[in-house]
Amino acid sequence: MKRKFDLFIYFLKKDIKARYAGSGFGLLWAILIPLAQIALFWFVFSGIMKARPYSNTQVPYIYFLLSSFFFWLAFSEGIIRSSSIIIENAEIIKKIPFPNILLPITVISTSYLLNFLGFVFFLIIYTISTGVNPLIILVIPIILFQFIFSIGIGIFIASIVPYVRDINQVLGYILQGMFFLSPIIYSIESVPERFKTIFYLNPITYFASSYHKIILLREMPPFNYLITIIISSSVVLLVGYYTFKKLKEGFADVL
């Protein structure tokens, strides 16, 4: 177990260093890119469309956006990178026996680590401007279950892509669809009733709405949200793990 942990830490450090190696701004891109995206959504939805997250609560749009946006970035970046990580490390996998499940876990962990720093910065500013929120501690288990959910999806896709490489061609569009069909840039309250069922079929809806409830509205997420988060994360992790375990034996033949 210690050997696996040490190997994971090695891969994690290597991935962080290599992620922006050779670029002029280096790790600064981890700040600049999310800031550019945030500024764009803020300008369009708040400046042009005058969006209000909630009809009965005066929550500034920028706070609404930032309360879940970093976690979406962590999820989507992690999934995109894990989808090609086995192929990128084909030569190592074919020559050196090691627990290659650590590869997708590492890139997902890197995405969460870098984006979590952005969330912490937002949380400090938000707490200074609005006061201490005792319920904020509840964000931690939600993040942990989202991380578990991401690991499950990541290792599942990582195990399939070497066999079906066309997945990489459509994955970006699937994630884009998940983004717009979840309450990240607008609240679930603003979604017309006839479309809400589509949103509730998207697991990201339950994570994003829980962050909004805890951080912005300072209330517990609905019980059915928490149950859905726990069950979906656990099931996805188990499916991902057993799929990877089943398919990894053939990696050397298809890479």
Residues 146-180: tens digit of each pLDDT: 999 999 999 999 999 999 988 988 999 999 999 99
CB of 162 closer than 8 Å to CB of 255: yes
pLDDT range class, residue 206, cuts 50, 70, 90: very high
pLDDT > 70: percent of the chain: 93
Question: Which three-class secondary structure state does DSSP give residue 222?
Answer: coil
pLDDT at res. 21: 60
Angle of helix 223-247 relative to helix 139-160, nearest 10 degrees? 30
Residue type for position 228? T
Residue 32 has pLDDT above 80, yes or no: no
pLDDT at res. 27: 60
pLDDT tens for 73-128 read 999 999 999 999 999 888 888 888 888 999 999 999 999 998 998 898 889 889 98
Residue bearing tokens 């969460």: 112
Query: Has this prediction a pTM greater than 0.75?
Result: yes
State how far the Cα of 179 lies from the Cα of 229, in Å rounded to an integer.
17
The full DSSP string for 11-24 is HHHHHHHHHTTT-S
List, in order, residues 6 or more apart from 191 with CB less than 8 Å away: 183, 199
CB of 219 closer than 8 Å to CB of 135: yes
The first and second tokens of residue 141, run together, are 């288990």
The first and second tokens of residue 19, run together, are 């992620």
For residue 189, give the nearest of 178, 199, 177, 204 by alpha carbon: 199
